[in-house]
A and B are shown apart, each in its own frame.
Chain A
Amino acid sequence: MNDGLKGGNTTKYMYRDYRHIVRLAGLLVLGFAGSIALRYAAVPESYYVKGRYRAAWPEKLTSWNMRFAGQEACAECHEDKQQSIGSSKHKTLHCETCHWASAGHAGDPDIEPHRKVKPGGMREFCVTCHQRLTGRPAWFAQIDPADHNPDQPCSDCHQPHHPEMD
């Protein structure tokens, strides 16, 4: 505002009066633009697309290689085995519970299944589940390997796909 004392260039004097506000406004605009740029640079791609996370990660995770093929894949070729075991006391077992991770075999039959459970060498394996143990529920079949026909392969009496004795 010109009080008229100096006369002359009114605009110049007016600017002198409010230039600090112009500077402040400039700083504000700069700060605002800077923070937007910073946010743009710091927030990774695909963040906030589906929520407060990178939507790219769950997608990437789905491409992880499977090691277990799943019962459905086994049944595609071995339906007979699935049906026979399905009528036995081992019906709740899936193939890979014993034969173990066989995604390779499911993709290419020439690749052996992870574990060919061999009759004769099974005693160690059967007791993983069937050893008598505190904590195991009473309904579950348990034996004491020291008393239960020691040194005899389990498969002499119990066929793994049909473990009940005839």
Chain B
Amino acid sequence: MKRRTFMSRVAALVVGVRTLFRPIAAAAEKISHGKFPWIGKKTYWGMAVDIDKCIGCGQCVRACKVENDVPDTPFYFRTWIERYVVRKNGEVEISSPNGGQDPFPPVDQPESVTRSFFVPKLCNHCETSPCVQVCPVGATFKTEDGVILVDKDYCIGCRYCVQACPYGSRYFNPVSMTVDKCTLCYHRITKGLRPACVEVCPTNARIFGNLADEESPVSKFIREHKTSTLKPHLGTSPKLAYKGLDGAVK
């Protein structure tokens, strides 16, 4: 084979292979960060939290437990409230008595407190979620409409996902003997209702809706306010947006 023929055939092969893999590269681009994953979809559920409005009453935590049969004992939560107390010397105290269901106690030395606020927490329904990646049996997954769910008929209860979640959003349910987590009240939202926590929030600190719909409350809220997400450096691309997120929040 002539050197010229060889070179041109190699070039043709490279071009051919590239063309062949272009659709795969395009698909990879689609799930990469920075682009809205709901583009081209009809429904894609999301939530936003307005920290400046949360009063730490705990109604969301109670409502979630009632609606979803979450065991009514401490440390089983699909959603919970944390109170951050930042002192003048920079010390941060985080508390969550019974997930925020019990009253938050008065703080010691209130004169040294420089700022304090409540942060409601729940599953962030990440786009590239570690929990989905580690599940050995494919029991935790992302639905077409963007919600991370646990298939309780299929979960083997290995709790690998509990460890993988950087937000602590999962727990092991001692009744079902499977992992359990926030479903954004999937049984409600698919009927056009709000999740229970959003329904009972007295100050509209939780905003819920369809991210694919520009006119939905959550799309408007995220568009019109300065929001951010928890632990963005982990690259999990959470869909839970926070307004008024303080640097002290973990």
Interface residues of A (CB under 8 A from B): 44, 47, 50-54, 57-58, 60-68, 70-72, 90, 92-94, 96-97, 100-101, 128-129, 131, 133-137, 140
Contacts and interface: CB of A to CB of B under 8 A. Distances in A.
A94 B199 contact: yes
A129 B138 contact: no
A133 B194 contact: no
B183 interface: yes
A67 B196 contact: yes
A96 B59 CA distance: 10
Interface in B128-184: 138-139, 141-144, 147, 149, 151-154, 183
A57 B153 contact: yes
A52 B57 contact: no
B110 interface: yes
Contacts of B44: none
Contacts of A60: 153
Q: Is the interface of A mostly helix, strand, loop or mixed?
A: loop
B191 interface: yes
B56 A68 contact: no
Given A57-B153, A135-B56, 12 more contacts: A47-B138, A64-B68, A64-B186, A66-B188, A66-B191, A67-B66, A68-B200, A128-B57, A128-B59, A133-B56, A134-B116, A135-B83
B106 interface: yes
Nearest to B139: A53
Contacts of B66: 67-68, 100-101
Interface of B: 52-59, 63, 66-68, 83-85, 103-104, 106-107, 110, 113, 116-118, 138-139, 141-144, 147, 149, 151-154, 183, 186-188, 190-191, 193-194, 196, 199-204
A137 B55 contact: yes
A63 B187 CA distance: 6
A100 to B, nearest CB: 8
B106 A134 contact: yes
A93 B202 contact: yes
Nearest to A114: B66
Given A70-B188, A94-B199, A134-B107, A101 B151 contact: no
Contacts of A53: 138-139, 141, 143, 149, 151
Given A58-B143, A101-B67, A64 B187 contact: yes
Contacts of B106: 133-134
Given A47-B138, A66-B187, A136 B55 contact: yes
B197 to A, nearest CB: 10
Contact of A94 (B68, B186, B200): B200
Contacts of A93: 202
B193 A70 contact: yes
Given A62-B187, A67-B66, A92-B202, A137 B52 contact: yes
A70 B194 contact: yes
Contacts of A97: 59, 199-202
A5 B117 CA distance: 98
Contacts of B84: 135
Contacts of A72: 193
Q: Which of A92, A100, A136 has the most CB of B within 10 A?
A: A136
Contacts of B117: 135, 137
B141 A52 contact: yes
A65 B107 CA distance: 40
A70 B198 CA distance: 10
Contact of A67 (B67, B149, B154, B191): B67
A1 B22 CA distance: 49
B216 to A, nearest CB: 16
30 contacts: A50-B143, A50-B144, A51-B144, A53-B143, A54-B151, A57-B151, A58-B147, A58-B186, A61-B183, A65-B187, A66-B187, A66-B191, A66-B193, A70-B199, A92-B203, A93-B202, A100-B66, A101-B67, A101-B196, A128-B103, A129-B57, A133-B103, A133-B104, A134-B107, A135-B85, A135-B117, A136-B55, A137-B52, A137-B54, A137-B117
